[in-house]
Structure 1
Amino acid sequence: MEIKFRGKYDRKLFFKSVRLANQPARSQRWVQPLMLVFVAVALWVLVIRLADSGDILGNASYIAVVMIAGSFVARSYLLPYLAARKLWANPAVQGDLAGSIAKQGIVYSLKQGQNEMPWSRFRRVRKADGLTTLVARDGLLVIFPRQFFKTETDWQKFNQLVDANIIAIK
C-alpha cells in the first residue's frame, strides 16, 4: 500500500503545526496557564505595592521574582513562534512538496532525488483537526495537512500508518 501526497504549506498552517509540535503533553498543559495567572497576579500586586510605597529598592526582590517568572512564561509562548518564523524564512519550506507514504516510511521526491524517512526516525506525533505533525528524533518537523491527500480514504490510511508506527502524545 502506497499513499501519494502533494501540496504546499501556507503560513498560518505552518505556524499552527510548529505550535502543536511544541505543546507539552496533555497532563502538563495546565502549567503554562497557571504560570501566566501567577505572573499576572504578581505583577498586579507589584504595581499596587509600588504605588503605595513608591520604594523601588525595597521591592527589588519582588521585582526580580516577577521578572524571572515572567521570562519563563514569555519563553514558553514565544519560542514556538520564533522557531516557526525562522523555519518559514527558508524558501524550501514554502515550495511544493510531493512524495509517498508506505509501511516502510515516508519518501519525499525532491529535485536532488528521493529522501527516505523510515518510521523509526520519528519519536512522536501530534494531531489536530485536519493536521498531523511528526517530530523526528533529531527535531525535524514533518507536517501533513489533510489537503496534501487526494481523498479522505488516503488521509485515513495515512493516519492509520502513523498510529501503527509512532507513539502519539496526548
Structure 2
Amino acid sequence: MRLAQIATILAPHLKTTPEDLQGILRGPILLKLLEGLPGKGPTSPTDYDKAEVARARLLLAARSCGLSGEELTTFNSALNQPPTFIGKHPNWAQGDGAIVYPSALHSIIRGAKEGETWVVELNFTQGRDGQRNIKTSVYWLDGDETSSRAARAVRLLDLHNGETHLGTLLCPASDLILPVLAYVVD
C-alpha cells in the first residue's frame, strides 16, 4: 500500500482531500513514524502494511489534539510496545497458561475487530524543571470499574515522582479505527 492510498482511505474521515492529507503525512514527523519497506530504487515509493492505515489514523488524531513532534514519537512508541496491563486480559490474549499480546497497535486492531474498546491514555505532567512530560498507556477497557481504578492509580504515581499532573487525554483508539477497519484487516 502506498502513502497516497492511505491518504485516500483516511481523507473522508478527516474532512479533507487526499492530496492535502498526503502532504500532512509526508511531513517530517509523521512520515518517519509510519513503518514501511523502501522501494526497489532510490526514487521508488515506500510500501506500507495495511496496519499503517490504523497507525496513521491514531497519529493524526493525536496531532489534532496538539501533541508536539516529540510527543507524537512517544505516542507511536507506545503503539509499538505491548499494551499496558490494567485490569483483565481479553480472551484472545490468554492461551496455554500465558498472556501474549502483539504490539499495542495490533492489539487495538484485533480488539476493534472483536468489538472491544481500546484506548490510548496520555498523561501530561510537569516536572520540577518545568518541562512538560507525556506518559502513554494503551489498554483494553474491559467494561467494569477495574480498568478505570487502575488507570487512576497510575496517574497517582506521578505525584510520588514529584511531578504535577496537568491533565489526561483519552484517545478512543477502537472508535477511531473502526470506520477504516475494512482496509486494515483481511
TM range (shorter): under 0.3
TM-score by length of 2: 0.24
* Larger strand percent: 1
Higher RCO (Cα < 8 Å, 6 or more apart): 1
